[in-house]
Each structure stands twice: as C-alpha cells, then as structure tokens.
Structure 1
Amino acid sequence: MDISTVSDQLIRKFASRVAMSADDRACVSALPFKLRTIDPSTYMLREGQHPTRCAFILEGLAYRQKLTPNGEREIVSIVMPGEFVDLQNLFLEESDHDIQALTRLTFAEIPISALHGLIANCPVAGHALWIDALIESSIHREWLLNIGRRNARSRLAHLLCEFSVRFRTSADADMAYELPMTQEQLGDALGLTPVHVNRVLKSLEAAGFIAREKRLVSVIDWPGLRDAAEFNERYLHLKQTRL
C-alpha cells in the first residue's frame, strides 16, 4: 500500500463527514503517518499507556477491551476499516482501556501532534473528527443497552445486524460476511458464555434468519433478523455519511 493510497483513504474519510475544499484536502493529504501491519491479538495500546499516535485502520479489524482486576474481559467495541481507533486519545493523556488487533491489521499511525495541528489549521477537519467521535459514543450507548436490557437471542442478532450494516452491505438483498470473532470473543462482547453463544447461533440458523459456513455468515431473512434483534440503525447515524 503506497503513500498516495493511504492519503486518498484519509481524504475520503474526512470528506465522508463534511464538505471539503481543495485546501482542506491538501491539509489532510499532508498529514505524516507511519504504515504498520500487525498480527491478530497484538496490542495496539495498553491501559495506562501515554499515547503519542492515533491509528487509522486501512485493512482488518480491532477491538477495545476492559479487564477486571481478576482478568475477566469485556469487549466494548469493534473498530473497522476506514475508522480511527483512538480519537479520545487526542486530548486524554492516558489510555483507560486496551486495544488489540482482532484480525491481521494494517493501519496508518498519525502523530497526535500532527492531528492537533490539523484541527487548529483546518476547522473543517476538526468538525469531521467530532462527528466520528460522537458516532462512536452513540454506538457505545447502543452496546450498553444491548448487553443490559436485551435477551441473549436479541443481543447476538443485534450484533449480526450491526456488522451487516457497518460492513456496508445492502439491506435489500441477502448479506454475507466473514464473522471475525470466535465464540469466546462474541461471549465477551455480549456477556454470554461461549456455549450460550453457540446455542443462540444455532437457534438463529434454525429459524432461517442466517446460514453459516465456517466463519462465513449469510443473512437470509433480513426482516426476521431485524425483528429478533429489535434493530434500528438510527444509532449508526448513516445519514451523516456524505459519500
């Protein structure tokens, strides 16, 4: 992946949030970055670290996690290609959670100081970053509702619906994607045991909502899966996407 490709993806990211002039695009294009590729489970950031760079995912997925003192894990969000991993660290001096690669991950690391300069010199770019941070907060709120007030079937169905939408597939047709999480990881995201996750996946398949082949999940009955999940994509704020 060459420099121009990465710059184009960064410009496309900002332009998906706000209207940008040629000068605005030039400012984003001038951002310095370091291209990195890491293996699954590699830590990008650990709780307590003082971050100096902000990552923009190009390929693969990452996840945020919180750990209890006795080592119990909760996966609190999934980060996908075309998203910034750690915008909160632009202004918070210490990380309050871990970030790990879920799959093999390629990302651009941008110095926080460079992003501060971009925000100061290009208010439009700062506006775009605000939108991204606020949408991320909205997703966190929905995950909190999901784990706190939905039953196991609805929780898992909701996560499958969210993946379908966030992977930018059409809700008007059958959807298929590789589910990148093990049953243990799904359980840690949903407050369920791996055994319970397996049981619920089988029930959704038996109901005709999805079909599975290894890690490939195909959504066969989108309306049925949506109903089972009580899914409303409003919290994803898709109307905020300009492209």
Structure 2
Amino acid sequence: MSIHIPGEALDFQHLFLDVADHSIQMLTRGEVALIAMRDLQAAVEGNPSLNRAITRRILVEASIFREWVLNVGRRDARSRMAHLLCEFAIRLRVAGMTGDHAYELPITQEQFADAVGLTSVHVNRTLRSMSAQGFVVRDRRTIFIPSWQRLAEIADFNERYLHLRTEPLSR
C-alpha cells in the first residue's frame, strides 16, 4: 500500500518492469494523465534530466516504502499513527495543500488503519487518546498539530527519508 498526494507523479517503476504487480485507485476526486509507455520511454532516453528526475522519484518512493515497513514493524500504535500524521503534514505542505500545522486528512479512518497495520477501532481509540493528551486536535477529517516537536518526538519522525527540497516545518 502507498498513498500519493495530488500532484505527485507515480508508478514510474513500470518503465523498467514488464508487468504491473499492483493496481492504483484514487481515493478522492481528481484528474489523471495517462502517458503511453513508448512515449515516456522515448522522452526519457532523449533527455538525461528527465531520466534523472524519474529515477529520483522511483528512489524516493522506495525510501517511503522502507520507512512504512519500519513504521508497521517496529513502532507501537501511537507512534505509527503519529508518524503517518507527520508524513502527511510534510507532504501536503510541499504540495501546497496546507499550512504548517493543520490539514485535511486525505484518507478515511479505515484507509488510515490499513496504512498503519491496525484495526479501525484501534485507530479511533488511539486518535482519541492522542487528542486527550494534546498531540493532535481533530475535527472530523481536519487534523491540527498544536506542537510539531511533541508529535514528531513520539513518532520518532525524521523527514529525511522523504528527500524533499524544502524548508522543514516550523517547530
């Protein structure tokens, strides 16, 4: 499972693989641009800068995947959820879809549960607990982070794996 933010290019690994081993589903309304494989391959072969950009995107997706495996395999429920909330805050800010400390959660609670390897009931309980402890304030799908430093600390979050070229969130 992976979650892409609107505006992110995705699935470039198929430039190098013959068969898709997964499907893609939009969780929100949006537009999709389809590019024929042969056209993309021709563009990449004739443009070293485009080739580097696509290769970089593939490597960033692999880095995010590794972090998600670590998140599910090594962190407790609260830390997993805090980590994904931090990641969304950063990626949505980079996409221009939020300010520093509040955003609309781009997925349902059930989808969030799938992403962190928990049940929807456990996610709901943990979010309520995190709200009671002041780590997040939630109003339906809107998430407000009162203290980035506190949330990032319980998440053991370091945005380095996202390989972003932007300023970090204000502390």
**Normalising by structure 2, what TM-score?**
0.90
Aligned AA (1:197): V
From 137, 152, 171, the counterpart of 1:211: 137
Distance in 2, matches of 1:203 and 1:98, equals: 34
Q: Secondary structure at the match of 1:217?
A: strand
Shift of 1:239: 3.6
Count how many residue pairs are aligned between Structure 1 and Structure 2: 164
CA contact (8 A) 2:93 2:100 kept: no
Match of 1:175 in 2: 101
From 37, 43, 49, the counterpart of 1:124: 49
1:145 aligns with 2:70: yes
Q: CA 1:82–1:132 in 2, change beyond 3 Å: closer, same or farther?
A: same
CA contact (8 A) 1:174 1:218 kept: no
1:226 aligns with 2:152: yes
Q: CA 1:174–1:220 in 2, change beyond 3 Å: closer, same or farther?
A: farther
Distance in 1, matches of 2:164 and 2:9, equals: 17
Shift of 1:88: 1.2
Distance in 1, matches of 2:13 and 2:166, equals: 20
**Mapping for residues 66-215 of structure 1, pairs under 5 Å:** 76-168=1-93, 175-215=101-141
More contact order relative to length (CA 8 Å, sep ≥ 6): 2
RMSD: 1.8
In the alignment, structure 1 segments of 5+ residues that lack a partner are 1-75
Greater share of strand: 1
Greater share of helix: 2
**Mapping for residues 49-68 of structure 1, pairs under 5 Å:** none
Q: Which one has a bigger Cα radius of gyration?
A: 1
CA contact (8 A) 1:210 1:219 kept: yes
Shift of 1:81: 2.0
CA contact (8 A) 1:174 1:220 kept: no
Q: Deviations over 1:171-225 (max 9, x none)?
A: xx85111112222111111110100000111111111121111111111111110
